[in-house]
Structure 1
Amino acid sequence: MNKTDECKLNAFMAEVCSYIKWADVHDEVVLELRGHVEDRIEDYVNRGLPYSDALDKALKDMGAPAEIGRGLHRVHRPQTDWLFICMMGVYVGIALITMFSISGGTANAVNLSLYQGMFSRKLLWTGLGLGMMIGATLFDYRRLRAYSVYLWWGIMLLMMYTMIYCHRFGTIGKINLGGVSVDVFGFAPFLLLIAITGMVARLRLHRRNDFLMFTALCAIPMYPFLKNGMPASGLEYSIGLIALLLATPALRKHRGIIVGAVAVVIVCLLAPFTSDISAMRLKAYLHPQLYAHTAAYQYVQGRQALRDAGFWGHGLHASLPLLPGIQDEMVFNYAVYAFGWIGGISIVALALALLVRLVWMTTKTTDVYGTQLVVVVGVMLGIQFIYPVLMAFGVVPMVSVSFPMFGTDGCVTVVEFACLGVIMSIYRRRHIVRVANASQNVRIHVE
């Protein structure tokens, strides 16, 4: 193809793309159109036409660029799940109202410093999180795959640094950056799983070395989780990893990895109870009435708050000074106490509706990488939705797990919002032409 022919073909592609408003799909559209044009050119050349004449006839057969462009624009407009956005808006609103109620209902609290300025900080972090969510929605999620290795190494180095920092200053899983407490182990499971999901597509798992590398990438993060005494984060990571394994066709046949991941989950469940203090906590969980004033104090007070809640609750700014930790792991108990069982049931119903919507999004996503990301993030959010409810009723042991967006750690909140933005980015691009299956997604009338 000489320069004149190339310019002619590029001009045709540019005119078609000028009618497609969404720039993200231009590259895929150009590749698909070139494939159709080159097929027609080859057919005419085989009939004995010169290449330039074959190009002219092929472009004429394709039809008017304006007609093609308008047709593709109708097919390739960004898809927005407004129902999911509305449900998220209601959920975030409930989270903010709950934090506002907690911050204003602590007049009799033992430690007021925990609650001073809490709602203002929550507003700030929620605003930053919403900004991150919008940015992640507009960002093409497929580009994350290229940075997966760097993301994995970055999170691992940050976790290792936090381990050293925690050992030196006596904090647990957090570092202090300019007066801002960063719960590294709180958001690490999300980012690690996103990184591993991206690396799965880049590895050839039928090869021994790549398979061993994948196994190491999955196993290594468990060391800092268990070493630093953060089994809850390790449990979230392990369950998310199992979901990724089951969502990856190339990995489902490796039963050894899945069995190993299940074993790690069991270790995470048992790890908190290996020390004397943890054994006491296990006894308190199993027999809360015997340790009502010591290790089981939160269990007892949390259940008492549920019993005293009533159908409509005690209203906004309800004071519950005897229940510690209401800003995090006990936030559901407080929400029921303040807004009644009707409020608690509404929160649970909304959380379940969001999870069902995430499952529905998975069925609508044709890209394997996108499906894996939705599954991983959805499972992680599902754990954080379900576990606090079970913990409130004393069904499971108490750990530092709170509803997504309800917690007071700002960085974790921002990461949770960003992960939801990734999910919306996947749904938004679910109709983008993929070169591998473009023939199934795009129909171009050729005379």
Structure 2
Amino acid sequence: MLNIDRRILAHFDYVTLMLIIPIVFLSGWLIYEIHPVLGQKHLTYVSVGFGVFVTLFLLPIRRMFWMIPIFYWGSIILLVAVEFIGHSRLGAKRWIEIPFIHFTLQPSELLKPAFVLMLAYLIHRNPPPHDGYRIKDFMKLSFFIVLPFLLIAKEPDLGTATVLVLLGFGILFIVGVHWKVWVGLSVAFVISLPLIYSNLHDYQKQRLTDFVGEKSSYHVEQSIIAIGSGGFFGKAKEDATQTQMKFLPIASSDFIFAYVVERFGFFGAFVLISLYAALIVHLLFLSTWTTDYYTKVVSGGLSLLVFIYMSVNIAMTMGLAPVVGVPLPMFSYGGSSFVNFMVLFAVMENLIAYRFRYLYDNVGKKSFV
């Protein structure tokens, strides 16, 4: 049986795990209430995710950093392949069907951990100076951010593409970029807004029109009704009619926050948001505390990813943001998003727990007493 040096477990970040578990537990409970079959499938996804977490945590990841560029460029090749051999659904070409086994792969999901790890790899090899990256280094790093953004936006999947570009530049902000670079980037973005809008697809323009219009879309209207009906402490399962009578669409995934409020009211929403806030602040603290750029980028990237997903999803369900299909992190039904988060959390925990090189020598040997 595999034994692990107890010194490794002493460095494990238990706070992150303690914040994730109640989020995952509540998610499984509510998804099962909405649709028992989906609840059982979600339990399988969670089991796979935690299995991936344990497996990656036990690997000597610091000895495998040379594989990161292969992982990143392999994901980019798959994104390019989508254009030629991709499988279309509802007007979007985002999937590749694997022959013979009837399994579909979404490369944009596979890219997310590779994206964060590639930025960590590049920043570790070329750390920022005291006053932050200047324009030359910033442009080099931006290439690795903008390239997947363009490929994913072309599918089209503007929601995922936007999350990635915000995540990438957010990581650079945490690591350090000279203020003049940010001023120039902000001016260029504002000037290019008309061009960006003119290149949007019709359905994307319609979503923006629905968002700024006086009347919300059907999805958002039903979501707001569910949120408003929850009151302070929510309702019993049988009385949560917006969800149980199928008025609330996509209740187990994109609009699951509305069911949280309908079921547990303002108090339940406050508890859930507080858990996310504590996780975000804790991950930011880990990023600030460490001097290792791998740990800094992965923990800071995770903090940003949780914040972006959570804030956009909740704002979307309340009519405060366009509907873009961004899931509530580690909460909405679905396997790929949850597994991606577990991959990044496992890498972060590995980097923290094994930050002293001599600990690798004891993995698989008898634990010290």
Give the alignment's TM-score, normalised by structure 1.
0.68
Find the counterpart in structure 2 of residue 353 from structure 1: 278
Q: Is the 8 A contact 1:242 1:261 kept in 2?
A: no
1:183 Cα deviation after fit: 3.5
Find the counterpart in structure 1 of residue 208 from structure 2: 282
Structure 1 CA distance for aligned equivalents of residues 197 and 152 of structure 2: 10
Find the counterpart in structure 1 of residue 366 from structure 2: none
The structure 1 residue matched to 2:83, chosen from 163, 177, 187, is: 163
Summarize deviations over 1:271-315 as a string: whole Å, max 9, x none.
5983443333222112252xx5xxx11111111111112223233
Task: Quickly say closer, same or farther: Cα 1:264–1:187, change in 2 above 3 A.
Answer: farther
The structure 1 residue matched to 2:47, chosen from 127, 132, 155, is: 127
Greater RCO, CA 8 A, separation 6+: 2
The structure 1 residue matched to 2:17, chosen from 69, 73, 85, is: 85
Pairing of 1:265-344 with structure 2 (within 5 A): 271=197, 274-289=200-215, 296-316=217-237, 318=240, 319-344=244-269
SS at match of 2:235: coil
Bigger Rg over Cα? 1
Pairing of 1:322-401 with structure 2 (within 5 A): 322-401=247-326
Pairing of 1:193-232 with structure 2 (within 5 A): 193-202=116-125, 214-232=141-159
Find the counterpart in structure 2 of residue 243 from structure 1: 170
SS at match of 1:228: coil
Q: Unaligned 5+ residue runs, structure 1?
A: 1-20, 23-72, 105-116, 435-447
Structure 2 CA distance for aligned equivalents of residues 77 and 275 of structure 1: 50
The one-letter code matched in structure 1 to 2:347 is V
Task: Quickly say closer, same or farther: Cα 1:349–1:247, change in 2 above 3 A.
Answer: closer
SS at match of 1:310: coil
- Is 1:233 the counterpart of 2:156? The answer is no
Find the counterpart in structure 2 of residue 185 from structure 1: 108
Structure 2 CA distance for aligned equivalents of residues 415 and 269 of structure 1: 33
Identity of aligned residues (%): 20
Q: How many residues align?
A: 344
Task: Quickly say closer, same or farther: Cα 1:299–1:144, change in 2 above 3 A.
Answer: farther
Structure 2 CA distance for aligned equivalents of residues 276 and 210 of structure 1: 36
Structure 2 CA distance for aligned equivalents of residues 281 and 89 of structure 1: 34
The structure 2 residue matched to 1:419, chosen from 339, 344, 354, is: 344
SS at match of 1:174: strand
1:268 Cα deviation after fit: 12
Q: Unaligned 5+ residue runs, structure 2?
A: 360-369
Q: Is the 8 A contact 2:134 2:181 kept in 1?
A: no
Structure 2 CA distance for aligned equivalents of residues 335 and 427 of structure 1: 33
Q: Is the 8 A contact 2:75 2:110 kept in 1?
A: no
SS at match of 1:327: coil
Structure 1 CA distance for aligned equivalents of residues 205 and 33 of structure 2: 35
Q: Is the 8 A contact 1:183 1:409 kept in 2?
A: no
SS at match of 1:329: coil
The one-letter code matched in structure 1 to 2:33 is S
Give the alignment's TM-score, normalised by structure 2.
0.80
The structure 1 residue matched to 2:32, chosen from 84, 100, 111, is: 100
Q: Is the 8 A contact 1:361 1:427 kept in 2?
A: no
Summarize deviations over 1:114-141 as a string: whole Å, max 9, x none.
xxx3112111111010011122223344
Aligned Cα RMSD in Å?
3.4
The one-letter code matched in structure 2 to 1:429 is Y
